[in-house]
Chain A
């Protein structure tokens, strides 16, 4: 392996996307090449720098409004809507009498309550002035901080790494219970991990995504992706607008200890 090839693979190596053979060849090269080791360290520093210091602008609200107004699905004109409305009301009233006798009223369909809660809690973290109450000096600093603050010991064997650095922790409420909250970063995205007691919650019936030796449920809402799984007595919810594959990778690390 020459220097050019080695340097092309450094980013993949840090992100864990190199196959075993390429990784082995690269490690051999790095062991004997001080210049490429330096290149790796400097490139990692560059990632940290731009992720932490480059402003992350949002599109102006006026632009969003303008685009949504222009490209939203067309609505029927008011006169047409009213005419249709009256016709529908007449037909509907007759039909309703029949239907009421035939069917028990059911609550309106709603989003998975755990998904809704996870996204809401993640938004609270994003909008909080202090997203973490304890800054990360490593998992061994964050985990003891939860002692006495939650009524369980959060099992999170993953300490963070270059791809998913641990930012810190805080306490949140997940539905009716307290949750230990771990905040990770993936490039420019924050990923929140909520850990809580799993009993008595409306867990999704279908779980297909492998998370260590269990399976979880990946769902999306309002532009955020949520991966829910339970292991033993504890439940886990990972939420972010990062790529869903990143969530699966991080979940695997959280489940297996990296």
Chain B
């Protein structure tokens, strides 16, 4: 017997308004974290909402590419990050300039031997407030900001590698450089 319910898109095309195919329910569990990253990438509430909306729309379009049982969270964040970078590339000529990332260690903080700063750095770090941290994060490149923020959200390095499209070894060095750069910026804010 043919069950019409098994073919929802054919069972009353005249009566039914076009309805978009759904996402896995689990996708909505990541909405807050997606919004937080979008907000800190764009620096703007409305743009963050647009970016998240676009992320969900793209996820629906590309849902055939998602393999059930694989990491939905990393897949969604990869879409969001790529959408933001695509938009950033298109807006390259705009007055707002951001760096994407590069492989030059010097671009994200020094990693050689630095002079010992004693407790002074720790004291300065302890003095910074939320606004300082937000401002320092905005000065990081897109991928450095992404990696620091997603690390905070509890992403494993394997998940970060999936989001950023690189290997785990690169994630480790990028995370280390990004955090060093963030500390360097915060020291300046705390002056």
Identify the A interface with B (CB < 8 A).
Answer: 3-4, 7-12, 34-35, 38-39, 41-43, 45-46, 49-51, 53-60, 63-64, 66-68, 70-74, 76-77, 79-80, 186-189, 223, 241-243, 245-246
In the bound complex, how far is the Cα of B1 from the Cα of A86, in angstroms? Answer: 20
User: Interface of chain B, helix or strand or loop or mixed?
Assistant: helix
B27 partner residues in chain A, CB cutoff 8 A: 71
Whether the pair A54, B35 counts as a contact (CB closer than 8 A) is no
Identify the B interface with A (CB < 8 A).
Answer: 8, 11-12, 15-17, 19-20, 22-23, 27-29, 31-32, 34-36, 39, 45, 49, 52-53, 56, 60, 105, 111-118, 121-122, 125-126, 128-130, 133-134, 148, 151-154, 156, 172-173, 175-176, 179-180, 182-183, 186
Residues A3 and B52 in contact in the complex (CB < 8 Å), given A54-B130, A186-B154? no
Q: How close is A100's CB to chain B, nearest CB, in angstroms?
A: 25
Among A4, A8, A59, the residue within 8 A (CB) of B112 is A4
Whether the pair B49, A11 counts as a contact (CB closer than 8 A) is no
Whether the pair B32, A58 counts as a contact (CB closer than 8 A) is yes
A41 partner residues in chain B, CB cutoff 8 A: 122
Whether the pair A223, B29 counts as a contact (CB closer than 8 A) is yes
Whether the pair A73, B52 counts as a contact (CB closer than 8 A) is no
A9 partner residues in chain B, CB cutoff 8 A: 172
Among B53, B114, B176, the residue within 8 A (CB) of A63 is B53
In the bound complex, how far is the Cα of B29 from the Cα of A68, in angstroms? Answer: 11
Whether the pair B180, A188 counts as a contact (CB closer than 8 A) is no
Residues A59 and B34 in contact in the complex (CB < 8 Å), given A4-B112, A43-B179, A74-B22? yes
Q: How close is B191's CB to chain A, nearest CB, in angstroms?
A: 16
Whether the pair A187, B153 counts as a contact (CB closer than 8 A) is yes
A67 partner residues in chain B, CB cutoff 8 A: 28, 31, 52-53, 56
Whether the pair A243, B156 counts as a contact (CB closer than 8 A) is yes
Whether the pair B116, A7 counts as a contact (CB closer than 8 A) is no
A189 partner residues in chain B, CB cutoff 8 A: 154
In the bound complex, how far is the Cα of B128 from the Cα of A49, in angstroms? Answer: 8
In the bound complex, how far is the Cα of B179 from the Cα of A167, in angstroms? Answer: 25
In the bound complex, how far is the Cα of B122 from the Cα of A72, in angstroms? Answer: 48
> Closest residue of chain B to A57, judged by CB?
B36
Apart from A10-B176, A46-B183, A188-B152, what are 11 other A-B pairs with CB-CB below 8 Å?
A7-B176, A7-B180, A42-B122, A42-B183, A46-B186, A55-B130, A56-B36, A59-B31, A64-B28, A74-B19, A245-B156
A72 partner residues in chain B, CB cutoff 8 A: 22
Whether the pair A63, B35 counts as a contact (CB closer than 8 A) is yes
Q: How close is A136's CB to chain B, nearest CB, in angstroms?
A: 19
In the bound complex, how far is the Cα of B17 from the Cα of A74, in angstroms? Answer: 10
B111 partner residues in chain A, CB cutoff 8 A: 3-4, 7-8
Whether the pair A246, B154 counts as a contact (CB closer than 8 A) is yes
